Amino acid sequence: MQTHEIRERFTQHFVNAGHTAVPSASLILDDPNLLFVNAGMVPFKPYFLGQQNPPFPNGTATSIQKCVRTLDIEEVGITTRHNTFFQMAGNFSFGQYFKEGAIKHAWSLLTNPISEGGYGFDPERLWVTVYLDDDEAAEIWEKQVGVPAERIQRLGMADNYWSMGVPGPCGPCSEIYYDRGPEYGKDGGPIADDNRYLEVWNLVFMENERGEGIGKDNFEIIGPLPKKNIDTGMGVERIACLLQGVDNVYETDLLRPVIDIAEQLTGATYGTDAQNNIRFRVIADHSRTAMMLILDGVTPGNEGRGYILRRLLRRIIRSARLLGAQGETMAQFMNTIMDTMTPSYPEIAGSRERILNVAINEEKAFLRTLESGTKLFDDAAAAVKAAGGTELNGAEAFALHDTYGFPIDLTLEMAAEAGLKVDEAGFHSLMAEQKARAKADSQAKKHGHTDLSIYREWVDEHPTDFVGYDNLESEAKVLGMVAGGEKLSVATAGQEVEVILDVTPMYAEAGGQLGDRGLIVAGDARLVVNDVQKIGKKLWVHKAVVEGGDLAIGHSVTASVDKQWRHAARQAHTGTHLIHAALRQVLGPTAVQAGSMNKPGYLRFDFNYTEALTPEQLKEIEYIANQAVDTDWQVNTIETSLDEAKAMGAMALFGENYGSRVRLVEIGGPFSMELCGGTHVDHAAQVGPIAVLGESSVGSGVRRIEAYSGLDSFQYLSKERALAAGLAASMKAPTEELPERIAQLSEKLKQAEKELSDLRRRELAAKSMKYVEAAHDVNGFRVVAAQLPAGVAASDLRTIATEMKDKLAGSAAVIVLGVQDGEKAPYIVAATPAAVSRGVKSGDLVKVVGEFVNGRGGGKPDMAQGSGTNANGLAAGFEAVKSELEKL
């Protein structure tokens, strides 16, 4: 049974039982506790916590959620059951059925014949576990389902009590295991051997809320949830493994094709070598995870989600290289995994080119890193050998890994080829320190998560009625107020307060558009609203300052939007859509939105693209956007279903989770059609002129365009015109001749700088000759030790030292120079090859000078530099160097 059929049978089983089928959420959700969605229940978390009412007719739902877990990336492939990406099929009940319903639904799907829509598992091969004191679940399994008591086992909190690992919903669980047979391990059930008895389904009886804590069993149970809920998770990959009759998840229909391609590209064979097997599995697992992350809008970077993606892609490249691959392999891996996953995720087809571009560009960059890392390794290895050593120290191996992205196993392999060892203990110690820092930072971020429980009452019972699309003013009632995390009954003059109204015309920040500004007025009470935010996507919270009077709960008020603010905000938001459409015309469909921000008069638009835009491309984007303004297309908003909007050609954004009804903003028919909840002008001409300020990089594979709209655009262009006019007047040339005149001046300046540089070089050469002639002997070394006159810049020291080295190349010579450069005392030590062969290490000698000038420095055996703060110590430092030379 193919994986896509396993998915279809699961969904249909629960739809037939009255559940609402919910599409998988993006892997990226707005949750400060999670880097990626890591469990099937995560998108339903607000319903379990009671922060929102579930929007499902029967209070039940089913989904097959994309999940990513990356805590132990290094362990991938060592076991054959775990993946970084996996699909969690689940059924959910929000206050409807509980233990009995969850157990019977799962059992029937697993054991019903294939001809009746089930998976056809032999009931005699299924075992279950329950929480230690959960007699109710054990009785249901035995008395109602018919599982023999000897195949029901009890486990403790670490195994059979579920939570996300962070504060949130939790509860006891019951797990279902499949006995794979004696050839996989010993008898005795899951307690005896969890390799033979493979867990396939976890039924969580979610009834409590957990607090802070570490680990699976070291946390506080805060109390019961508002309702008893069901959250189950069936591992699609594990079911596929069993139904396809293969030993592990890497040999299923989704991953085995990638291993086959890896065999072709590397010449290695899967299944013949334990270490190589791990590398094949890493390629298969990480290719799928990386592809799915890119699909959901993640791009490689140096922190957060981008760093995880970059790490996954680089581990693929590294593993392929260690298996014997030469050159680029990413295109073949990505194409293969997209072929296997598209039947389950049809949206891959529309993003294929973009996914390939992101992965291939990262591969090219990393291959360059490998090339530069190899050179750095060669230098480090040569230094070790020159010093008579046999081991590359852990700090150098860590620097290659951490700073340059050079994998440790490649370092080990190359060291062995060079006849050297690597201080692995030192390397792993530094890695452990880095991980500890990262974990502490992660915990700090989790603890900073805002407690939103104070708003739960309003979210559940009084969601805000937003009327701001059609009205800039409305009558409303004050439902609640919050200040300093506490509920208020009355707010007084001067107080900062969050106000909850039953109705509001003010837009809450969302979709990149900042929240409205405005007023709340009731009699003598006057509140200035400076921001509006959403809680749980249902509640509008007005952040305001009481300018005068008192406001109490229950007061009738008039809420009004700052009209000028809204007008300029609408201009910028519609301008963002025009820029997006223009950008896709110029760059093609692979330039996909990666974020935006618009406020009155200003917009910025981030998009996935790997190259800087040319001035011509920027000019064309600006022209197309303004052409749309000039055409004065009507801006239409249409409320429809998500499927209908997509059928019309609307763009959905990565990381956004849309409900069953969506708002489609259409400008000029096919010119721009996006799902968007923001506020917009009625006609494109109302945007006013759009002035593109420029574009820049905001991360690997992500570019940003910034622009002004409306009057802000006019003012910007007016200043630019005045600046050009001023330059034209000073140069006594027409404005249109300015570029040519400036280019001529620039060329003259470059020529003058070159002449000055040549003159300075000749002067430095003459100075160096004077000091070389004064060199004296120290223990067989020709030594130049001199403090150069003030005026010689720190940047000149290397040039002078190199000149001296060249003139003394035929002898064992050591050059020690320093200078007072303002408050600093830069210095340098250089040694000829003959001096290095006698044991001179400039990197050590530069530290000797540093002791006398309060300085630090380092470098290679032939040249090292440093800088201190006490130029008066240079002479003593030079003498100390001579003393060190006397000892050699």
Cite the annotated binding site for Zn(2+) by residue number.
Answer: 573, 577, 676, 680
Contact partners, residue 831, CB within 8 Å, separation at least 6:
805, 813, 814, 815, 840, 841, 842, 861, 862, 863
What are the E-state strand segments in 407-501?
421-422, 465-466, 473-483, 486-488, 490-491, 496-501
CB atoms within 10 A of CB 759: 10
CB burial of 158-184 (b: ≥16 within 10 Å; e: otherwise) equals: ebbbbbbbbbbbbbbbbbbbbbbeeee
Which two three-digit tokens encode residue 227? 């309702």
Q: How many CA atoms lie within 13 A of 663 on its CB side?
A: 10
Contact partners, residue 115, CB within 8 Å, separation at least 6:
none
Beta bridge mates, 692: 707
The CA distance from 276 to 256, in Å, is 15
Which two three-digit tokens encode residue 855? 């300085």
* 3-class DSSP state of 399: helix
Taking CA atoms, 498 is separated from 487, 528, 531, 658, 888, in Å, by 9, 11, 10, 27, 75
Indicate the helix (H) or strand (E) that contains 163: strand 161-163
The CA distance from 239 to 64, in Å, is 13
C-beta of residue 406 within 8 angstroms of C-beta of residue 379? no
CB atoms within 10 A of CB 390: 10
Indicate the helix (H) or strand (E) that contains 6: helix 3-16
What are the E-state strand segments in 567-634?
592-599, 602-608
Quickly tell me which residue has 């006594």 as its tokens.
732
Kindly state the DSSP code that residue 337 receives in the 8-state scheme: H
> Which amino acid is it at 36?
F
Binding positions are 573, 577, 676, 680
The CA distance from 690 to 710, in Å, is 7
**Closest C-alpha among 557, 553, 495, 492 to residue 523:** 557
CB burial of 10-26 (b: ≥16 within 10 Å; e: otherwise) equals: bbebbeebebbebebbb
Taking CA atoms, 66 is separated from 30, 33, 850, in Å, by 16, 17, 56
Helix, strand, coil tally for the chain in percent (to 5): 45, 25, 30
**Closest C-alpha among 822, 804, 820, 823 to residue 863:** 804
> Which amino acid is it at 662?
V
The CA distance from 507 to 467, in Å, is 9
Distance in Å from the first CA to the final CA of the chain: 75
Indicate the helix (H) or strand (E) that contains 60: strand 60-68
Taking CA atoms, 278 is separated from 39, 139, 258, 846, in Å, by 25, 42, 14, 45
C-beta of residue 369 within 8 angstroms of C-beta of residue 398? no
